[in-house]
Amino acid sequence: MKTFIVEKTASGGFTMGRAFVVNRNNLSADTYRIESKDADTEIAKYQKAVREATAQLEELAKTSDIFAAHFEMVQDPALYAGVTDKITSESQNAQLALENTTAEFAAIFDSMEDEYMKERGADVRDVRDRLMRSLKGITQNVLEGIHDKVILVAEDLSPSDTSNINLDFVLGFATELGGVTSHVSIIARNLELPALVGVKGLMEEVKSDDFLILDASNGKVILDPDEETIQKYKALEEEYRKHKKELEALSSLPATTLDGKTVKVYANVGNLEDVKKAVHRGIEGIGLFRSEFLYMKNTHFPTEEEQFEVYKQAAMLCPKELIIRTLDIGGDKSLPYYTFEPEENPFLGWRAIRISLDLEDVFKAQLRAILRASAFGKVKIMYPMIISLEELIKANTILNICKNELAAESIAFDPDIKVGIMVETPASVLCIENFAKHVDFFSIGTNDLTQYILAVDRGNKKIAKLYDSFHPAVVQSIQRIIDAGHKEGIEVGMCGEFAGDEKAAVLLLGLGLDEFSMSAGATANIKNIIRNTSYEKAKECAGKAVTAFTTQEVKDILSCFHN
């Protein structure tokens, strides 16, 4: 018996069964060099592979936004130029040229700190695999041969991999690579299957048909467990299944405390598919629509019409409100079609609202699209990374220009659309009382707020332990934001990861948070905690926590409440 331990869970739960190990050795590139006279032949091979991959992805794009992005990527002129240049200038055969070019592209994403952008390297590798299969004449993906229930074990799993699997046969996932925002993590959470990523040494030790226990809730993969361990986990699996069913029953119920206080529990989404899944779960509103993904998956700045269609459909799907965050790009989130100048400190640089205010035509196209969508549902606008009233006033001035244009064109929109800001910088916290007089709502972005307040780079492993939203400075900032908002009669929400942290739920409830917005999969659990908590007692607990001197003291106070 051997146990692998990882720190982060991609999707919780327990399962056990036989392993199916995905090996990609058959997709390794041939390494021979070519003579110059053969360059045209190799380029023709690559062109044929691109045509075949394009045809496949054109169909798959109808089923998922991920494949729509791959469809654009496989036709990327930069990719084509890189491959053909290696064929003509470096005498590489088409397979080797593809391998080396995509490795360079993937390395750019792999080096980024932002978890989402880092995972885009996996998309490049997926496109590479699709093209390589075509170059090698491989017509069937090995995963199509799965006909029994298995735990999938791989170095990584791509969208193309999972599109070829009958997911009814998958018990869970374990991969050596990937993070909590990787494709396999998202798939696992959507399907509510246990999954662990970043399991080092897995591929060396595990073989197909080995018996595994996947304890994703506690970050363990157990290889060849003994009978006592198997029986223990059978009981845990059954207990987890019962608890899950109980939580599912809460999905469409209101988040009302034992003493009658009701708060909103909404979902964070990045595309229409996410909206549909959230609504299917019984979630009534979207607390954060990350509009930047519309830009990041594209080959150009999306037009007003392209954005309008997406926002309109999202608004029509939402039973209650849809909060759209305007373009939040920069930092380490880039666009494939726009060149950002190198910056020493990109997280303190040209990003988010700063970009929108400088690229006014791009900003206007987005605002007009959002305004038009507001005729189809309860839509709100949220500006990211605001640090001054001047920025807010300038953004609203542009918004008013857009309103006047649409009115002159007799295009329908909500003239009273609500406008709010993300509170995610120390500057916005210190000026929060002033901001509260000029907006309709606040949404606290704890991911960046914690990073900036504590001066901790959350991507730096050496100091990652210092990044903690339970730090007294962060907790006191949250209280100040909520109090300032309520004093002016406006709602205060939270759309950072902290909102979905079950250990923080009582604290945030007690501080008076009006809206919790998180990944759709976390909503039922947070609702369950809220529905089993007294608001008055939560206020007492939060009152103690907000006066604590240390992070551990905050956690101890909350731990006592739960116990």
Helix/strand/coil for 80: helix
Alpha-carbon span 344 to 354, nearest angstrom: 17
- Any idea what DSSP says for residue 180? T
3-class state of residue 360 by DSSP: helix
Cβ-contact 338, 281 below 8 angstroms: no
Question: Checking phi first, is residue 266 left (phi over 0); if not, alpha (psi -120 to 50) or beta?
Answer: beta
Could you tell me if 149 and 171 are in contact, meaning their C-beta atoms sit under 8 angstroms apart? yes
- Convert 203-231 into a string of H (helix), E (strand) and C (coil): HHHCCCCCEEEEECCCCEEEECCCHHHHH
Residue with tokens 């199916």: 20
Helix/strand/coil for 558:
helix
Beta-carbon-side half-sphere exposure of residue 516 (alpha carbons within 13 Å): 33
Gap between the Cα atoms of 333 and 342, Å rounded: 13
Please, what's the b/e burial string for 391-429 (b: 16 or more CB within 10 A of its CB; e: otherwise)?
bbebbeeebeebbeebeeeeeebbeebbbbbbbbbeebb
Determine contact, residues 322/380, Cβ cutoff 8 Å: yes
Is-contact 485 491, C-beta < 8 A? Answer: yes
Task: For 60-140, list the strands marked E by DSSP.
Answer: none
Residue 3: strand, helix, or coil: strand
Using DSSP bridges, classify how beta strands 195-196 and 262-269 pair: parallel, antiparallel or unpaired.
unpaired
**Smallest Cα–Cα separation from 13: which of 191, 314, 241, 354?**
241
With contact defined as beta carbons under 8 Å apart, do 81 and 97 qualify?
no
Distance from C-alpha of 195 to C-alpha of 220, rounded to nearest angstrom: 10
- Distance between CA atoms of 120 and 156, rounded to whole angstroms? 13
| Known catalytic membership, residue 318 | no
Around Cβ 279, how many Cβ atoms within 10 Å?
Answer: 19
Q: Are strands 14-22 and 211-215 parallel, antiparallel or unpaired?
A: antiparallel
Residue 174: closest CA among 235, 223, 137, 236: 223
Given the residues 70, 318, 471, 495, the one annotated as active site: 495
Per the listing, tokens 């470096």 go with: 90
Element containing residue 269 per DSSP (H, E): strand 262-269
**Radius of gyration from C-alpha coordinates of the chain:** 25
Length of the chain: 563
- Write the single-letter amino acid at 493: G
Catalytic residue status for 495: yes
Beta strand pairing status for 378-383 and 321-325? parallel
Contacts for 406-410: CB closer than 8 Å, 24+ residues apart? 406/368, 406/371, 406/372
Please identify every residue annotated as catalytic.
Answer: 183, 495
